[in-house]
Amino acid sequence: MATHMGQILLPHGQHFLLRDRDGSYNKITRTSSRFFLRVKLHRINMENLELRNEIEKITEGGATTLREQVEKIAALKSQYPHSIKHLEYRNVDPMLNYNCFMYALGTIGSEIIIKHLKWDAERKCKYGILFGSNIVLRLIKKGILNQCKEGEVIMYFSDNNPVHGGRIKDDRVISKWGSDCLWEHTVWEVPARYGNRTERFLIPKREQVESEFDDYAKELVAIKQ
């Protein structure tokens, strides 16, 4: 941690967070050896920042195996008390494996979604068919994914882009970090890369999500053919 003219600079990935006297934060990014980009962050959540940075290191190459990842996150409790619980490892069966958004939206094992993902993977991801941020934004825009303060689906945002998703259960979150492990945690016990804003949504109908993804995948193929 460093100080700057009575303010505080907190390390945050490849950025620094500069706290103003009004309690708001600014993200400072080095754009060259001489110039910095300053962006004011009005709604940034600073809870568990140091813990989140440590989780980030572990999940982004700081562990050689998933078992080591689980052990290192558990060991963080001695320095940064947390309530993170490991639930399960990645499934080796491609039909049962899933990412955070598939878990959050209840589409694990969807034959329609997996068909498109597998088809594109066999073509070295030529068409960029992913069940990721773009489909989440599309579902929100189409009114298939609807905001609700008591909704069971939680989405994490960075610069208005959904970067992570999970399910709320008994005031805790269950989410998959990347394509690796499934975890149970509080809202802000997550890697730093998952942003600083959340929104909750109602659980969408599975068939609507599948239909929208089917259209989305076909559109991507048509554009690039």
Q: Would you place residue 19 in the very low, low, confident or very high pLDDT band (cuts 50, 70, 90)? A: low
Which pLDDT does position 218 carry in this prediction? 97
- Mean pLDDT over 80-97 rounds to 84
Phi, psi of 193 (to 5 degrees): -70, -10
As a whole number of angstroms, the distance between CA 133 and CA 163 comes to 6
As a whole number of angstroms, the distance between CA 12 and CA 29 comes to 10
* Residue carrying structure tokens 């960029």: 128
Which pLDDT does position 90 carry in this prediction? 78
Taking the domains of the chain in order of start, what are their residue ranges? 2-41, 84-224
Which pLDDT does position 61 carry in this prediction? 82
Whether the pLDDT of residue 94 is over 80: the answer is: no
Whether the pLDDT of residue 85 is over 60: the answer is: yes
* Coil vs helix vs strand at 53: helix
Q: pTM for the complete prediction?
A: 0.79
3-17, 82-96, 161-175: segment of lowest average pLDDT = 3-17
* Coil vs helix vs strand at 173: strand
Q: Would you place residue 27 in the very low, low, confident or very high pLDDT band (cuts 50, 70, 90)? A: low
As a whole number of angstroms, the distance between CA 33 and CA 36 comes to 8
Cβ 1 vs Cβ 10: under 8 Å: yes
106-117 per-position pLDDT tens digit: 999 999 999 999
